[in-house]
Amino acid sequence: MDMSVFDLFKIGIGPSSSHTVGPMVAARRFLVECGSLDNAVGIEAALYGSLALTGVGHATDKAVILGLMGETPQDVDPEAVEDQLAEVELDGKLRLLGTHEVPFNRATDLVFHKRTSLPEHPNGMRFTLKLADGSVIEKVFYSVGGGFIHAAGEAEGSPDAPPSTPVPFPFDTMVQLLAHGQESGLSIPQMLRANERVRISDEELNAGIDKIWHVMSDCIAHGLVTGGQLPGGLNVKRRAATLWKQSEDKGGDRTNDLPHDALHCVSLYAMAVNEENAAGGRVVTAPTNGAAGIIPAVLRYYAEDCRPSDPVKGIRDFMLTSAAIGMLCKKNASISGAEVGCQGEVGVACAMAAAGLVAALGGTNEQVENAAEIGIEHHLGMTCDPIGGLVQIPCIERNGMGAIKAITAASLALKGDGTHFVSLDSVIETMRQTGADMQDKYKETSLGGLAIHVVTVNHPAC
């Protein structure tokens, strides 16, 4: 499997990895591959399927414009985005890759094909560069979840990426990974580390993981102190900061605590991240933006409440193990809500967090598999039905619930000996089949479920 931990965990901005991060990357890549832009006189972007249906709520239109301007998800300044877009709107011009200026009208040069999908994935987009001689350069891209993209007819990833480098522990299934562990005597994070070291040094790997955790941690911290209202038209109030303050105001007085209050903070960590995501802030795909709060919440729970003797090593083992589960889900099913529903986002993130927590707490490889299997199994069939096409309701609360489920799954697995009835490979295949059977209206189109049974007023996506 030619995938890295840094493919699963990408630094970007909200509110969506498939509808914001992916389209931004695709728009920029299209222009880079066009070569010289000196003869360009216009640009058009057409969005199809789920990208068209929920694109405005997911900021796909903004992401495409930013990508055409040359911005990248990891480097764009979230605080400057609205000013950049306002300048384009005011001037009626777009500076392609920041260098060549062409006329641009968002109303006519961004086209939403809400009733049409392109053949390879529900998240399709077509870019057309118009040249002075009347000819055009045109290319189709797909955003397939978690910020991953590919051009029509190509495998995912960059077309000029170097050939895959053999790794010491290749795996396409959990059965294969467990077999490697039994033969080598190594844990899952040890094997993932060995695979990563084919590409980069231990120092680079550790620094990269530490940076990812730093961004996650900062996202939680910012979300826990930021109040106000989320953008988009639903007038949803941010709750994490208020609830966190209520918890903090109690100080050390726990006389009136209920048993479930012990996990209250975990829910707030997850909600804080997803409120930041909904506001277009800096987040890490884990493995998607819509499910970005679960892994950071469980990681902070591990670091602060599980009393680890070596939290730095534990966090790194957690991330490597989580990545292994995410790789399996992406390869053998999907992490795209537009393809398999929210089971592929919140369900996969829950499984990744549960597995990571077990590994960080010293569980066996078999216990890791058990925890991941429980995490996905109890999200099977979960639809993706965001109200108003926004990553707010039910997405934010689902992250809080997913984090709690991950801790429960880890606890169950750690209290067992690793034997269980349903294998992780089987439940991943079940998720794939369930997603294929699911009607499109329940897969990030806002045409079914909660999205049509809750009245919204004056919202552009409705």
* Tens digits of residue pLDDT in 217-252: 999 999 999 999 999 999 999 999 999 998 887 665
257: confidence class by pLDDT, cuts 50, 70, 90: low
Q: What's the mean pLDDT when you consider all of the chain?
A: 93
The CATH T-level fold of domain 174-249+257-454 is: 2-methylcitrate dehydratase PrpD (1.10.4100)
Residue range(s) in the chain whose domain bears CATH number 1.10.4100: 174-249+257-454
167: confidence class by pLDDT, cuts 50, 70, 90: very high
d(CA 323, CA 191): 12
Architecture of domain 19-143: 2-Layer Sandwich (3.30)
Identify whether the C-beta of residue 110 lies closer than 8 Å to the C-beta of residue 35: no
The pLDDT tens digits of the residues spanning 117-157 come to 999 999 999 999 999 999 999 999 999 999 999 999 986 54
- pLDDT at site 256: 65
The pLDDT tens digits of the residues spanning 412-462 come to 999 999 999 999 999 999 999 999 999 999 999 999 999 998 755 444 444
Residue range(s) in the chain whose domain bears CATH number 3.30.1330.90: 19-143
What percent of the chain stands above pLDDT 70? Answer: 94
159: confidence class by pLDDT, cuts 50, 70, 90: very low
- pLDDT at site 109: 97
- pLDDT at site 207: 98
- pLDDT at site 285: 97
Rounded to two decimals, what is the model's pTM? 0.93
Instruction: Decide if pLDDT at 158 tops 90.
Output: no
